[in-house]
Chains A and B, each alone.
Chain A
């Protein structure tokens, strides 16, 4: 009898715990982000652990086919040019199901990267197992991570800046501010932002 009670109590705890985790999908600020091993457009597999000298990462869920993502392509490239030398490279991950969005297949990704001269890795989340762990729901969706002894800590989640239509009219550069704060050892002022994007295609 005792063991049954014990087991049912454990079961109850497990059920409650799983109910909570299913509500809180994805990372919160301060969580440790999982590493990944995903195929880049050059055919090589890329993980965060490959970047030994990095201080952190600008993980960018993006794709070819979303107008919002397209509007940000040049700004994503600019972020990599500015911050990769400082230790915060951009790693772009394409999360869409390519059966739903053939315009995001590997050949299309390679073509787009060549046309735009991307200098950052552009990886495919082929099994669609990484983006749900991060909690990305749309493209573009940015996670700024800081490398620590415990792992890569989520420091910022959200948009690149506050104007998807016109880069010249941006008032607040959320990602730049976040990375600058990390580089200067300061507290990030705006840790989470919301922006319109294309839902990730499953």
Chain B
């Protein structure tokens, strides 16, 4: 992921060269991955459509993480959310990963990322440019920086504009478990 980051600072032509070069080099297996058996389904929501996922009232604890493939600290902590989703399934905890990737990156980066990393948590994409309206609805203290996470149950709710490691994440989730 780090590699892709530098594209932004790179000369366009160099970028094209790099893509050409790397596609020549890519092995058979990689090509299969890009062309065949490619069925990652991605639900794309605006904020009104996303909101029900942030306000469920059942017996589960929901951990909603806002991330993007281009966000290095998000990618760093993503495996912890995946692990949490797996380890705490039996404790009625569900992780939802809300991607803020740009729509023109869904096919190029987001779906390949989901597939390559075999993400097991529910992934949805939020495509709603009017962030000034929806950011305060998620939390009034959120300045808009990602990563950001909401943990909620039917009884309580907490918002975090920060990164997590696994033990920190467990600690917060445990506050929601009886």
Contact = CB atoms under 8 A, between A and B. Distances in A.
B103 interface: yes
Interface string A191-202: 001111111110
A108 B9 contact: yes
A132 to B, nearest CB: 13
How many of chain B's residues touch chain A, expressed as a range? 20 to 34
Interface string B3-15: 0011011010000
Contact of B145 (A103, A111, A193, A198): A198
Interface string B100-113: 10110000000000
Contact of B9 (A64, A165, A197, A199): A64
A71 B131 CA distance: 15
A103 B5 contact: yes
A67 interface: yes
A193 B8 contact: no
B80 interface: no
B39 to A, nearest CB: 26
A196 B144 contact: yes
Given A194-B143, A199-B147, A169 B129 contact: yes
A101 B2 CA distance: 10
B149 to A, nearest CB: 13
16 contacts: A64-B8, A66-B70, A100-B72, A103-B5, A103-B6, A158-B132, A163-B129, A163-B130, A164-B129, A165-B103, A165-B129, A194-B131, A194-B136, A195-B132, A196-B135, A199-B71
Interface of B: 5-6, 8-9, 11, 68, 70-73, 100, 102-103, 129-132, 135-136, 142-147, 161
